[in-house]
């Protein structure tokens, strides 16, 4: 990776706060709205692996998750997760932050990001 990338939704309040924080701390980044630019399966699988599994990447507290059927929620393998996220991209926690050193994280907490970026 050549750049810090923030993946999320343009109108998500947490993503807006995260981007504002990056701007205020003069951290160069690219923002990708994953509803407009879906993330490919290889990248999603990589994120899940780096985060410790699909449970760390998927937001089970979301309205989208609660609206799924029990059968949809019973996914157990990579292919199932990828199909579910392809159909419902808002299931991915946000924002997803990737940095040039290969680290991946989800969510935004100013103190955590300050430590991560040395700010």
The set of catalytic residues is 12
Q: Residue 44: how many CB atoms within 10 A of its CB?
A: 23
78 Cβ partners below 8 Å, 6+ apart? 41, 45, 48, 54
The DSSP code sequence of 56-93 is HHB-TTSHHHHTS-HHHHT--SHHHHHHHHHH-GGGB-
């Amino acid at each position: 990776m050549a750049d810090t990338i923030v993946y999320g939704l343009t109108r998500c309040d947490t993503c807006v706060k995260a981007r504002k924080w990056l701007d205020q701390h003069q951290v160069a980044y690219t923002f990708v709205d994953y509803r407009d630019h879906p993330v490919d399966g290889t990248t999603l699988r990589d994120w899940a692996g780096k985060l410790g599994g699909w449970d760390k990447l998927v937001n089970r507290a979301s309205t989208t998750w609660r609206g799924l059927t029990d059968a949809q929620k019973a996914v157990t393998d990579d292919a199932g997760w990828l199909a579910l996220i392809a159909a419902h991209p808002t299931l991915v926690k946000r924002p997803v932050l990737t940095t040039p050193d290969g680290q991946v994280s989800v969510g935004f907490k100013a103190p955590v990001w300050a430590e991560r970026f040395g700010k």
